[in-house]
Amino acid sequence: MTDVIPEQLSDLLERPLLGHLATTRPDGSPQVNPMWFLWDGTHLRFTHTSRRAKFRNVRHEPRVAMSVVDPDHPSRYLEVRGTVESVDDDPTGAFYVALAQRYSRPPNPPADAPDRVVLVVRPESISFQDRR
């Protein structure tokens, strides 16, 4: 596990919770959407398509932030700030399917599979609150 994420908060990344991924539009304004994600102990990975605004935002400005809230203790949260290190093609939607299973959804490839990509984010800093 990366040194950036405190052990006592790692469950927020390991559980199938929605993350709110913030990007910056070319005009400098923010865009935030709830997203499925996977934490592999080093990187956050998100499924997306190459045809949406968030993808264009990341191409323009690769610095992002993601927050996740503990639904059992809403005052407990983690914000991870980092950089999109790579955008990997996922033309079969295999990563989307893996995330669908993680989030207890039917493991069917999406209709937009040919346009699917995986956004790979390297965490650089965090902020958090851990009140239970």
Residue 123 lies in a domain: yes
Residue 1 lies in a domain: no
Residue 95 lies in a domain: yes
Residue 109 lies in a domain: yes
Residue 2 lies in a domain: no
Residue 75 lies in a domain: yes
The answer to whether residue 1 scores a pLDDT higher than 60 is no
Question: How many independent structural domains does the chain possess?
Answer: 1
Residue 21 lies in a domain: yes
Share of the chain above pLDDT 70, in %: 98
Residue 47 lies in a domain: yes
- The CB-side HSE value for 22 (13 A sphere, CA atoms) comes to 11
Residue 48 vs residues 17, 56, 110, 111, 127: alpha-carbon distances, Å? 17, 11, 11, 12, 25
What pLDDT does 41 receive? 94
Give me the mean pLDDT over the 20-34 stretch: 97
The CATH number for 75's domain is: 2.30.110.10
Structural domain containing residue 54 = 7-129
Q: Which has the minimum average pLDDT: 6-10, 29-33, 89-93, 97-101?
A: 6-10
pLDDT digits (tens, 9 = 90+) for 58-96: 999 999 999 999 999 999 999 999 999 999 999 999 999
Residue 90 CA to its chain's centroid (Å): 16
